[in-house]
Chains A and B, each alone.
Chain A
Amino acid sequence: MKKNTKALSLRVPEPSGRPGDTPDFSHLKLDAPGAVARPDALSDHHEMRDLAFRLVRVLDEDGTAVGPWDPKLDPETLRNGLKAMILTRAFDDRMHRAHRQGKTSFYMKCTGEEAIAVAQGMILPREDMGFPTYRQQGLLIARGYPLVDMMNQIYSNASDPIKGRQLPIMYSSRDYGFFTISGNLGTQVPQAVGWAMASAYKGDDKLAISWIGDGATAEGDFHNALTFAAVYRAPVILNIVNNQWAISSFQGIAGGLETTFASKAIGYGLPALRVDGNDFLAVWAATQWAEERARANRGATVIELFTYRGAPHSTSDDPSRYRPGDEHEKWPLGDPIARLKQHLIALGEWSDEQQEAAEKDAVEQVRAAGKESEAIGTLGQSRPSVKTMFEDVFATEDWRLVEQRREVGV
């Protein structure tokens, strides 16, 4: 018997605003700073499910740290965090410009998201391998990786640590706990779980930490990661950077209208935190919570970092074609650099003059590194020797590669 006599219709989600519209964030449910309780890091994940739907915030409107998640950092750590964020932004600005000047083929900024990779890169030591996306340059910068090596990679020049093999910004540094970035979205999250499983298998004390964008959580690999992390209680921190956009698709296309990204963890039996990603202290506190849990062998935590992609997706993108022009300015959670600066000033540990000096210093550091790197050469001016094209396909070249290398005459 036919039961359904009513015509069905297909739903396709649409964002709250498009170009020309006034940005509308009224649908966001934001907890007040300090309002979310902080369970013990070793507590039973069943008892903290509500955290997947709340928003952990520490800094209030006046820049005061409030509530149970305040990590109570010393001023020196705060200043270092602020400086690393400033440096990350200065680096982005210069390399974005370098692309415009024809010095490289591609670049991607992390504007507005600096607090995430910087705080997490400061908390976890290099021994804890990071599995980043292309928007975690702050991890390298916070860990003191040489800017000149980042630029050499971006220029694919003779000193590129990965020999011109990868698209700009797809860095790799084993020593700094930075796993080789894949251009294929999502693939590395389950690999981070595997890395963490290996540490547990060996009886080591190392963690892994991964990042994925809101959009890429739709990939099957994200879900593979959560299954494995839960089943094997892997010592890994699984971050979801929800910056509201995946190129031109708003987060609703990835399922963000139905539930929070953090809450995906619940179905897999993992604890989840949802955090203001533009609040350096909240990011710090949440990461520390997950770290403590993982180090106690209690397994993985999923952290949704709620933020906004301030810049175009990449140098090939023009967001004015698909989102309201001033959405970033109107973002209700502000800017991570401005907020940490405000906090430090409120503490009496920083000043506008110091901010200005730090910004100048960052520009200077970037300029000096740029000079050094460009002296080696920008894309096409300098590059590794052509024969390296045939290396590292295997540990040892097979006859085909030997013959093909000869054919190129190198």
Chain B
Amino acid sequence: MVEKTFTEADRNDGIEPDMVDQGHAPKSTTGGNGTLPMNMIQALNSALDAKMAEDPNVLSFGEDAGYFGGVFRVTDKLQEKHGLTRSFDAPISECGIVAAAIGMGAYGLRPVVEIQFADYIYPAYDQIVSEAAKLRYRSAGMFTSPITVRSPYGGGIFGGQTHSQSPESLFTHIAGLKVVVPSNPYDAKGLLTACIEDDDPTIFFEPKRLYNGPFDGWHEKPVSPWKAQELAQVPAEKYTVPLGKARIMKEGADVTILAWGTMVWVSLAGAEHAGVDAEVIDLRSLVPLDIEAIEASVKKTGRCVIVHEAPKTSGYGAELSALVQERCFYHLEAPIARVCGWDTPYPHAFEWEYFPGPERVAEALKSTMNGGR
């Protein structure tokens, strides 16, 4: 499935497990400066592979994540390369997966666990919220939880309500958790590596709509593959992208767009569609947040539009909006706007009415340029 896109035309590719061999293991021929063109799956796989080679305390497990290499193939061949006990299948218990990771992490390992879809993370919520997030604090640093919870999230794939959700704000609300979302292969590898090396629990949401190409929300147009993108040139070696540093995807003078994951690409398309000179900021990590980059940009442009897939109410956009208002109020020339998912569950039949697309972003940009009217 994921290799192709989920346009109206070929949505017959289904959702869930991608079982088509796309040769996801990175090729061994390096590019000009030691980089290889990779899609996001390959980049994530490469991050895990490199960390596992470097550090015997890093291991990976999850449902179908061992022998088979994960339904999206992110852990492909890790078992073959690193051994049965370093990349293995887990029972279908998200709670058990995270709980076991917490125990291993406290012991001194660096487990990276896969929750097959973010929509299935809720059975693990108690372990993440009450345990992983609080181990360090309640034991005054005696026990810690250096675990990474990876999970594909987000819509645009005709996945219905159980394969489309964006639950990031349920985790940003929790003291003690870091929440990270890449938007491209280069960042995916560097951020995942940084999460694994981080001494605190990180929730790493992978925008599955971007696994195989930078989807911009124009679902009727053919999608270009990653390899055409500069951000798909990924170093073969290990590297990190620091947590808490946003990426300015595009500089602009008139309005600041704050986005992450798939919505970074939708925002770029929305700005182009509106013909507005927007500065598009890919937050990359929601916690810790690069507040300096946000503040500098909004003070420069005087306008701010926040775009996310999750429902509007209590989404992370609410927090961002409050922060921008607190810090940039006297620089604002228009109310802060939010373009978000509706306050409904994710409907199967109305994929493109629900998914915030470039047209809605463009509307918000135009209205913001017009002082919010």
Task: Name A residues whose Cβ lies closer than 8 Å to a Cβ of B.
Answer: 9-10, 12, 14, 18, 99-107, 156, 160, 163-168, 170, 182-186, 215-216, 218-221, 246-249, 253-255, 312-318, 321-322, 379-380, 383-384, 386, 389-390, 393, 400-401, 404, 408
Contact with A along B324-356 (1 / 0, CB 8 A): 000000000000000000111101111001100
Tell me which of B15, B66, B343 contacts A12 (CB under 8 A). B66
Closest residue of B by beta carbon distance from A319:
B19
Cβ of B193 to closest chain A Cβ, rounded Å:
24
* Segment from B87-95, B222-230, B263-271 that makes contact with A: B87-95
CB of B16 within 8 Å of the partner chain: yes
Contact assessment for B349 and A163 in the assembled complex, using a CB-CB cutoff below 8 Å = yes
CB of B137 within 8 Å of the partner chain: no
What chain B residues lie within 8 Å of A400 (beta carbons)? Answer: 312-313, 343
Contact assessment for A249 and B63 in the assembled complex, using a CB-CB cutoff below 8 Å = yes
Complex Cα distance A389/B8, Å?
19
What chain B residues lie within 8 Å of A316 (beta carbons)? Answer: 1, 13-19, 71
Contact assessment for B66 and A165 in the assembled complex, using a CB-CB cutoff below 8 Å = no
Within 8 A of A (CB), among B76-94: 84-85, 88-94
Given contacts A160-B349, A167-B159, contact A218 B89 (CB under 8 A): no
Closest residue of B by beta carbon distance from A214:
B92
Contact assessment for A165 and B345 in the assembled complex, using a CB-CB cutoff below 8 Å = yes
What chain B residues lie within 8 Å of A312 (beta carbons)? Answer: 19
Tell me which of A12, A164, A386 contacts B88 (CB under 8 A). A12
What chain A residues lie within 8 Å of B20 (beta carbons)? Answer: 318
What chain A residues lie within 8 Å of B353 (beta carbons)? Answer: 386, 389, 408
Given contacts A106-B14, A247-B17, A316-B15, contact A185 B92 (CB under 8 A): yes
Sampled A-B contacts (20; CB under 8 Å): A102-B10, A105-B159, A105-B348, A165-B349, A183-B161, A186-B92, A221-B123, A248-B67, A249-B89, A249-B91, A249-B92, A314-B16, A316-B19, A317-B16, A321-B21, A321-B68, A322-B68, A383-B349, A390-B344, A404-B344
Complex Cα distance A216/B93, Å?
7
CB of B49 within 8 Å of the partner chain: no
What chain B residues lie within 8 Å of A248 (beta carbons)? Answer: 17, 64, 67-68, 89
Cβ of B64 to closest chain A Cβ, rounded Å:
5
Closest residue of A by beta carbon distance from B9:
A102
Contact with A along B28-67 (1 / 0, CB 8 A): 0000000000000000000000000000000000011011
Contact assessment for B349 and A156 in the assembled complex, using a CB-CB cutoff below 8 Å = yes
Contact assessment for B342 and A404 in the assembled complex, using a CB-CB cutoff below 8 Å = yes
Contact assessment for B160 and A183 in the assembled complex, using a CB-CB cutoff below 8 Å = yes
Cβ of A151 to closest chain B Cβ, rounded Å:
14
CB of B96 within 8 Å of the partner chain: yes
What chain A residues lie within 8 Å of B63 (beta carbons)? Answer: 246-247, 249
What chain A residues lie within 8 Å of B89 (beta carbons)? Answer: 12, 248-249, 253
Consensus secondary structure, chain A interface: loop
Within 8 A of A (CB), among B175-195: none
Complex Cα distance A212/B160, Å?
21
Given contacts A246-B92, A253-B89, contact A99 B12 (CB under 8 A): yes
Given contacts A170-B160, A316-B19, contact A386 B348 (CB under 8 A): no
What chain A residues lie within 8 Å of B93 (beta carbons)? Answer: 218-220
CB of B119 within 8 Å of the partner chain: yes
Given contacts A164-B350, A219-B93, contact A393 B343 (CB under 8 A): yes
Contact assessment for B122 and A184 in the assembled complex, using a CB-CB cutoff below 8 Å = yes
Closest residue of A by beta carbon distance from B352:
A380
Tell me which of A14, A18, A390 contacts B84 (CB under 8 A). A14
Complex Cα distance A219/B342, Å?
30
Complex Cα distance A9/B85, Å?
9
Cβ of A165 to closest chain B Cβ, rounded Å:
5
Tell me which of A105, A182, A318 contacts B11 (CB under 8 A). A105
Contact assessment for A218 and B11 in the assembled complex, using a CB-CB cutoff below 8 Å = no
Cβ of B81 to closest chain A Cβ, rounded Å:
15
Contact assessment for B85 and A10 in the assembled complex, using a CB-CB cutoff below 8 Å = yes
Cβ of B356 to closest chain A Cβ, rounded Å:
11
CB of B24 within 8 Å of the partner chain: no
Cβ of B114 to closest chain A Cβ, rounded Å:
13
Contact assessment for B162 and A182 in the assembled complex, using a CB-CB cutoff below 8 Å = yes
CB of B204 within 8 Å of the partner chain: no
Complex Cα distance A128/B120, Å?
29
Complex Cα distance A401/B353, Å?
14
Contact assessment for B92 and A254 in the assembled complex, using a CB-CB cutoff below 8 Å = yes
Contact assessment for A102 and B12 in the assembled complex, using a CB-CB cutoff below 8 Å = yes
Complex Cα distance A101/B14, Å?
11
What chain B residues lie within 8 Å of A18 (beta carbons)? Answer: 67
Contact assessment for A314 and B350 in the assembled complex, using a CB-CB cutoff below 8 Å = no
Tell me which of A105, A313, A389, A404 contacts B15 (CB under 8 A). A105
Given contacts A185-B92, A254-B91, A390-B344, contact A164 B16 (CB under 8 A): no
What chain B residues lie within 8 Å of A100 (beta carbons)? Answer: 12
Contact assessment for A313 and B162 in the assembled complex, using a CB-CB cutoff below 8 Å = no
Cβ of A172 to closest chain B Cβ, rounded Å:
13
Closest residue of A by beta carbon distance from B158:
A105
Contact assessment for B119 and A166 in the assembled complex, using a CB-CB cutoff below 8 Å = no
Tell me which of A12, A99, A163, A182 contacts B85 (CB under 8 A). A12
Given contacts A248-B64, A321-B68, A390-B344, contact A106 B15 (CB under 8 A): yes
What chain B residues lie within 8 Å of A321 (beta carbons)? Answer: 19, 21, 68
